[in-house]
Structure 1
Amino acid sequence: MKLNFKKTGSGEPLIILHGLFGSADNWFSIAKELEKDYTLYLVDQRNHGDSPQSEDWNYDIMVEDLKELMEDEGLDKAFLMGHSMGGKTVMNFALKYPDMVKKLIVADIAPRYYPVHHQSILEGLISVDLAQIKSRKEADDQLSKHIPEAGIRQFLLKSLGRDKEGGFIWKINLKVINEKIEEVGKALDQDNSFDNPTLFMGGADSKYIQEKDKEDIEKYFPNHHLIYIKNAGHWLHAEQPKAVVDTVRAFLER
Structure 2
Amino acid sequence: MPVELAFESLGEGPPVVILHGLFGAGRNWTQMAQALATDHRVILPDARNHGASPWSESMSYPDMAQDVAALIEREGLQQPVVIGHSMGGKTAMALALAQPQAIGGMAVIDIAPQPYADQFGTYVAAMRSLDVAAATSRRELQQALATKLGPTAPVDFLLQNLRRHGERFDWRINLMATSMCMGDLCGFPQALPPCCYDGPALFVHGADSDYVPPDAVPGIRALFPQAELLSIPDAGHWVHADQPAALLAVLQDWLRRVGSIATTTHKR
TM-score normalised by length of structure 1: 0.96
| Distance in 1 between residues matched to 2:99 and 2:177, nearest whole Å | 27
Task: Check if 1:241 corresponds to 2:244.
Answer: yes
Task: Check if 1:138 corresponds to 2:107.
Answer: no
Deviation track 1:199-219 (CA, whole Å, cap 9, x = no partner) reads: 000011000000000110010
Contact 1:19 1:82 in 2 (8 A): yes
| Distance in 2 between residues matched to 1:151 and 1:14, nearest whole Å | 31
Residue 178 of structure 1 corresponds to 179
Gap regions ≥5 residues in structure 1:
none
Contact 2:61 2:188 in 1 (8 A): no
Mapping of residues 74-223 of structure 1, within 5 Å? 74-149=76-151, 152-163=154-165, 165-189=166-190, 190=192, 191-223=194-226
| Distance in 2 between residues matched to 1:8 and 1:132, nearest whole Å | 37
Gap regions ≥5 residues in structure 2:
258-268
- Partner residue of 1:21 out of 23, 28, 32: 23
Deviation track 1:82-116 (CA, whole Å, cap 9, x = no partner) reads: 00000000000001111111111000000011121
| C-alpha deviation, 1:11, in angstroms | 1.0
42 and 149 in structure 1: CA distance in 2 versus 1, 3 angstrom threshold: farther
Name the count of aligned residue pairs.
253
The one-letter code of the counterpart of 1:223 is Q
| Distance in 1 between residues matched to 2:188 and 2:99, nearest whole Å | 18
The one-letter code of the counterpart of 1:221 is F
| Distance in 2 between residues matched to 1:13 and 1:41, nearest whole Å | 7
TM-score normalised by length of structure 2: 0.91
Task: Check if 1:32 corresponds to 2:28.
Answer: no
| C-alpha deviation, 1:150, in angstroms | 6.2
Residue 69 of structure 1 corresponds to 71
| Distance in 1 between residues matched to 2:85 and 2:45, nearest whole Å | 12
Contact 2:134 2:168 in 1 (8 A): no
| Distance in 2 between residues matched to 1:131 and 1:76, nearest whole Å | 44
| Distance in 2 between residues matched to 1:131 and 1:77, nearest whole Å | 43
Contact 1:115 1:182 in 2 (8 A): no
| C-alpha deviation, 1:151, in angstroms | 6.8
| Distance in 2 between residues matched to 1:39 and 1:140, nearest whole Å | 36
Percent sequence identity over aligned pairs? 38
| C-alpha deviation, 1:119, in angstroms | 2.7
| Distance in 2 between residues matched to 1:237 and 1:202, nearest whole Å | 10
Contact 2:62 2:189 in 1 (8 A): no
Contact 1:127 1:143 in 2 (8 A): no
| Distance in 2 between residues matched to 1:80 and 1:148, nearest whole Å | 35
The one-letter code of the counterpart of 1:92 is A
Contact 2:89 2:109 in 1 (8 A): yes
The one-letter code of the counterpart of 1:98 is P
| C-alpha deviation, 1:19, in angstroms | 0.5
Q: Secondary structure at the match of 1:145?
A: helix
Deviation track 1:34-61 (CA, whole Å, cap 9, x = no partner) reads: 1111100001000000101111221111
Pick the structure with more helix per residue.
2
Contact 1:9 1:35 in 2 (8 A): yes
Q: Secondary structure at the match of 1:146?
A: helix
| Distance in 2 between residues matched to 1:149 and 1:236, nearest whole Å | 20
Q: Which moved more, 1:112-121 or 1:206-215?
A: 112-121
